Amino acid sequence: MSKSDLNVSLIQMDIVWENPTQNRALLEPKIASLQGLQHIIVLPEMFNTGFSMQAEKLAETMDGETVNWMKEQARKNRCILTGSIIIKEDDKYYNRMLWVLPNGEVAHYDKRHLFSYAGENVDFSPGEKRMIAQVNGWKICLQVCYDLRFPVWARNTDDYDMLLYVANWPEKRNYVWENLLQARSIENMSFVIGVNRVGEDGNGHPYIGNSSIYNTLGELIEKASNEEKIITHTFKYAELEESRAKFPFLNDRDAFVLL
C-alpha cells in the first residue's frame, strides 16, 4: 500500500441509550476485528450515550472513562479512533468529536451548530473553530451531524481533502442526510464520509443508518443499509488529484473569511 492510501472504517451501530459502559463493551470486538486493516476507525455521534440532552448527567471530562478507553483502543489496535461524546470543560458542556492517536495524543472538534430543534443549544456550548486533521498527507475536516446543514461552515477554502461527519440522524429526515452528503462532496470537490447509527433511541426516534461514502464528484461509493455494519474503504489520493485536475471547479469558488 502506497504512503498516500488511506484506509477508513465506518462502524454503524445500535447505541444503547445512556449507557456508556455497555456501549464501550459492544464496540470493543467490532474495533478489534479491524486490527491491521485501517488507519482510521469512525464511530457515530455520541456513540457512548445516544443523542441525549442530559448533559449534566452524562458528561465526562477529558480524563474520564470514555476518553481513556478511546486511548487504549487506539493504542491496542494501532489506529486513529474518532467519534463524539459529551464533555464537560470549564463548567461548559460540549458535543465533542475526539481524534485519538495511537500514541495517546487527543485532538478535538466541538460541534459548531447545535440542534436547537431538540434543545441541544440549551445546555451545550457551540464550538468556535474548525478542526483539520492530517493523516498520510491527507487533510480531513471534522464535522458533527447538524453541521451538515450549513455549507458555509464546511466550505473548502483550499484546506482539506475529505469531509468527515459523525451523526445521529433520524430516519424521518433521511432524505436530507443523503442529499446533503452528496451536495457537500460536489460543491467542495472532496471525498465525504457520513457515519450514522441504527436502532431506536430513548425518545422513540428510529435511525436508519445509511452511513455513506461519496467521491469528489458526488458519486456514491458505498452505503450501509438499516443494520449494524462495518464498512472499510481504501481512499486513493491520486483519484482526488486526477478529479480536481480534470474538473478544476474549485478555482472558481468565491473567496470569503469565516468570522
Give the catalytic positions in this structure: 45, 111, 145
For the CA atoms of 198, 199, 200, 206, what is the dihedral angle to 10 degrees? 60
**Main-chain phi, psi angles of 257, to 5 degrees:** -125, 130
Please state, in angstroms and as integers, the Cα–Cα distance from residue 169 to each residue in 166, 178, 248, 251, following that order: 9, 10, 32, 33
Cell readout for 65 is 472513562
C-alpha span between 223 and 211 (Å, rounded): 6
Beta-bridged to residue 134, according to DSSP, are: 139
Cell readout for 218 is 458526488
Cell readout for 150 is 450549513
Half-sphere exposure of 25 (CA within 13 A, CB side): 5
Rama region for 201: left / alpha / beta (φ>0; ψ in -120 to 50; rest): beta
What's the farthest any 2 CA atoms get from each other in the chain?
A: 52
